[in-house]
Chains A and B, each alone.
Chain A
């Protein structure tokens, strides 16, 4: 098909003009959006500057008489809520209580909370859940509970934080279920959220969790929580779980015992150095170095010839952790031509490692 030259020319001119118009519209739209954002920011900064002075006078009044906070315009109440949240996170005691009262006085913000917890936009739901957590709005916790099933991860995270921050163990089971729905690698990070329930969570778990023989997964979380905090009850809480024949649970218990580092549990750990599961042998090797003292050297030397690299590495690390006696044993293995080749190699590697860190 052959188009006349003037028609092609007209199409080109028309197309260029349309493109130019579109570009101009986009630039203008961008400029308007930028202008609005700048205007909002300037407004917010101006408000913050005024409120900072008002807040100082409200909280710390030298005369000792309570000074009311100036009225907040309805349109500015959501900005004020964000302003308050920053300060509320910093303060405790009667000043924090005073800020909470200010928040509760924000009719538009507080009254819209139930609706915002069900809002179609994830950031609005997240902000609402965060408000419940920050300002301890326990009367809204039931409305927060469904957010544990929210499709957006940061909304569920903030909802869980709101529930745990309440310290109300009524919400322990749903939050625990949420953590167990998360990927394995995420769980360690989520322990911090569970810790929000406070020290009563562990006794609660012991009473309410299904037997570890039937369902060991939650007990791994239990073990991780016990290991994260030194407590006189920590070891009794852990040792009985070593009897449960579940690989990951035993590995977790051994890890927690390494962290707690009490040498009295050494005899309980020693048999696991001969476990058929390499994951358990690897943790036992690490534990023997931390808990065992010189009496652990023979077992650690035998583990250095293990067929699995992780076990050999941990055994060598265990010897390095034992200090002078362990380092002497590593030196002996490294120089012994009759020793297992794996053991020699790993001994040399660990000695170099220890040398770099001045362990010798």
Chain B
């Protein structure tokens, strides 16, 4: 399915596993999106402050600042940064943590192993919903 992403759409990928980060980055760049990779929540917040980020994907289990804390920190920010759609990416074993993250304000989740098609579809829908909400 071909999608026409808005020009200059920027995605922040917060992921401590290099292989996963590279795969996500490669897939997003194939769609023409600009990708920033952070290795933990602290780096992710720094990039979010410096750049105009439209979408965020984040892992749950990370050093320094985990996905749950990151979601909380982002949702505490004033808009528009505080409203950037967040997609959680985690393994099935972290079901409880995932529920906590969704309750803290994450928009959606997918589980590892990742299907690139599902990933893109979720991101696309999140962006559409965010655009519709203004």
Partner-B contacts on A (CB < 8 A) = 52, 55-56, 59-62, 86-87, 89-96
Residue in contact with B118 in the complex, picked from A52, A55, A90, A93, CB distance below 8 Å: A93
* C-alpha gap A87/B22 in the complex (Å): 9
Given A52-B22, A56-B22: A89 in contact with B30 (beta carbons within 8 A): no
B112: nearest chain-A partner, CB-CB: A90
Give the contacts of B1-29 with A (CB-CB under 8 A): 17, 19-20, 22-23, 26-27, 29
Partner-A contacts on B (CB < 8 A) = 17, 19-20, 22-23, 26-27, 29-30, 112-118
B28: nearest chain-A partner, CB-CB: A60
B113 touches A60 (CB 8 A): no
A90 touches B113 (CB 8 A): yes
Tell me the minimal C-beta distance from B39 to chain A in angstroms: 16
Residue in contact with B20 in the complex, picked from A59, A90, A95, CB distance below 8 Å: A90
B114 touches A92 (CB 8 A): yes
A60 touches B20 (CB 8 A): no
* C-alpha gap A92/B116 in the complex (Å): 8
* C-alpha gap A96/B23 in the complex (Å): 12
Tell me the minimal C-beta distance from B91 to chain A in angstroms: 10
Tell me the minimal C-beta distance from A235 to chain B in angstroms: 21
* C-alpha gap A260/B94 in the complex (Å): 19
Shortest 9 CB-CB distances between A and B: which pairs?
A: A56-B26, A93-B115, A92-B113, A60-B30, A92-B115, A86-B19, A90-B20, A62-B30, A60-B27
B19 touches A60 (CB 8 A): no
Residue in contact with B19 in the complex, picked from A62, A90, A95, A96, CB distance below 8 Å: A90
Residue in contact with A60 in the complex, picked from B26, B114, B118, CB distance below 8 Å: B26
* C-alpha gap A76/B57 in the complex (Å): 34
Main secondary structure of the interface of B (DSSP, over half): helix
Chain A residues positioned under 8 Å from B19 (CB to CB): 86-87, 89-90
* C-alpha gap A217/B22 in the complex (Å): 46
Known: A90-B112, A91-B116, A94-B117. 11 other contacts (CB 8 A): A59-B23, A60-B27, A87-B19, A90-B19, A90-B113, A90-B114, A92-B113, A93-B116, A93-B117, A93-B118, A95-B116
A59: nearest chain-B partner, CB-CB: B26
* C-alpha gap A92/B29 in the complex (Å): 19
**Can you name 10 A-B residue pairings with CB atoms under 8 Å?**
A56-B23, A59-B27, A60-B27, A60-B29, A87-B19, A91-B23, A92-B115, A94-B117, A95-B115, A96-B113
Chain A residues positioned under 8 Å from B117 (CB to CB): 93-94
A60 touches B116 (CB 8 A): yes
Tell me the minimal C-beta distance from B112 to chain A in angstroms: 6
Tell me the minimal C-beta distance from B38 to chain A in angstroms: 18
B25: nearest chain-A partner, CB-CB: A56
* C-alpha gap A96/B114 in the complex (Å): 9
Residue in contact with B23 in the complex, picked from A62, A90, A94, CB distance below 8 Å: A90
* C-alpha gap A95/B30 in the complex (Å): 14
Chain A residues positioned under 8 Å from B20 (CB to CB): 90
